[in-house]
């Protein structure tokens, strides 16, 4: 979401979900995971971005879920598809994807009023190594942020973990500052804003029942972006390519629960030695 929006002007309490509400968010998250998997597999040379939107819409129908995106401030589709120098919020249409394109796909679903939101970056066919590294680094940064979503920690720990991971590769990548992650639950965008940068140990305390969408947006060049005349598509000013990865995670007493990952994050957290409720209940 865009930083400096309404949330900053009217800071409110962070929504705390009970078990049943988190279970509903998990249902939404699994719909998101299923749709993104299907869209990722369909991301081949010759497909149009509107066709990807249709695939995501059919998952919503099949799972009896709603779209978090369609109608949000007038957004016209269920998916955002952002290609190459587009970073986020690309509107699906007649554009044909070609081998070598780097495509970020962002999707949100709502079940019984509870939202899930996630994004993946997919390469169409073979892409140059610097693009694959950009996407891999952005995904690793997302997982570093998810791993910092610990009860008793602070929100700043998340942004610091994301930023440290991106900076650690030493490639001079840009991290968007105009767009950030967000709290999520009974609405898609809620308190708190979740920046992908900043010092650890600051900001609100992370408590069980909170849920946030962490979404690093990283470029091969500058972090400066502009919005197209369609009022949505966000592109880099220097035309450098970008990657965007996102998950919705619940903070629980037992550790992070990645609601939009099929396994809840179990595989990653087990390997990293981080306790997670996903290891018990996927």
Q: Does 86 bind Co ion (CB under 5 A)?
A: no
The DSSP secondary-structure symbol of 97 reads P
Which residues in 163-202 contact ligand MF3 (CB under 6 A)?
182
Q: Does 72 bind ligand MF3 (CB under 6 A)?
A: yes
Provide the edge-to-edge strand list for the sheet that holds 217-219: 174-175, 217-219, 242-244
Which residues in 5-64 contact ligand MF3 (CB under 6 A)?
none
Which residues in 84-103 contact ligand MF3 (CB under 6 A)?
89
Region from 67-75, 120-128, 197-205, 256-264 binding ligand MF3, contact rule CB under 6 A: 67-75
Q: Does 80 bind ligand MF3 (CB under 6 A)?
A: yes
Q: Does 180 bind Co ion (CB under 5 A)?
A: no
User: What is the x/- site pattern for Co ion, positions 188-217, by CB under 5 A?
Assistant: -------------------------x----
Position with the least CB separation from ligand MF3: 69
The DSSP secondary-structure symbol of 221 reads S
Structure tokens given for 176: 């968007």
Which member of 34, 85, 86, 106 binds ligand MF3 (CB under 6 A)? 106
E strands along the chain, which residues? 66-67, 79-83, 86-88, 102-111, 114-123, 174-175, 181-183, 190-194, 211-214, 217-219, 225-227, 234-236, 242-244, 247-252, 255-258
DSSP per-residue letters across 110-154? EETTEEEEEEEEEESS---HHHHHHHHHHHHHHHHHHHT--TTSB
Residues binding ligand MF3 (CB under 6 A): 1, 69, 72, 75, 80, 89, 106, 108, 117, 119, 182, 215, 246
């Amino acid at each position: 979401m865009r930083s400096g929006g309404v949330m900053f002007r009217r800071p409110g309490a962070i929504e705390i979900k009970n078990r049943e509400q988190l279970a509903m968010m998990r249902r939404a998250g699994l719909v998101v995971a299923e749709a993104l998997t299907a869209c990722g597999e369909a991301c081949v040379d010759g497909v149009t971005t509107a066709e990807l939107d249709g695939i995501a819409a059919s998952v919503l129908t099949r799972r009896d879920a709603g779209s978090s995106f369609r109608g949000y401030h007038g957004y016209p589709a269920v998916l955002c598809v952002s290609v190459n120098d587009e970073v986020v919020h690309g509107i699906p249409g007649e554009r044909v994807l070609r081998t070598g394109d780097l495509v970020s796909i962002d999707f949100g679903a709502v079940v019984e009023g509870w939202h899930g939101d996630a994004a993946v970056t997919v390469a169409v066919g073979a892409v140059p190594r610097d693009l694959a590294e950009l996407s891999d680094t952005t995904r690793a940064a997302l997982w570093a942020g998810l791993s910092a979503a610990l009860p008793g920690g602070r929100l700043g720990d998340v942004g610091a973990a994301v930023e440290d991971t991106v900076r650690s590769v030493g490639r001079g990548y840009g991290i968007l500052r105009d767009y950030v992650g967000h709290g999520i639950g009974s609405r898609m965008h809620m308190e708190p804003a979740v920046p992908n940068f900043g010092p650890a140990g600051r900001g609100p305390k992370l408590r069980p029942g909170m849920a946030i969408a962490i979404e690093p947006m990283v470029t091969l060049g500058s972090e400066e972006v502009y919005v197209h005349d369609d009022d949505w598509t966000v592109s880099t000013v220097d035309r450098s390519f970008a990657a965007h990865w996102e998950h919705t995670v619940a903070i629980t007493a037992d550790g992070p629960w990645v609601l939009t990952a099929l396994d809840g994050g179990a595989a990653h957290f087990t390997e990293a030695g981080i306790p997670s409720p996903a290891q018990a209940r996927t």
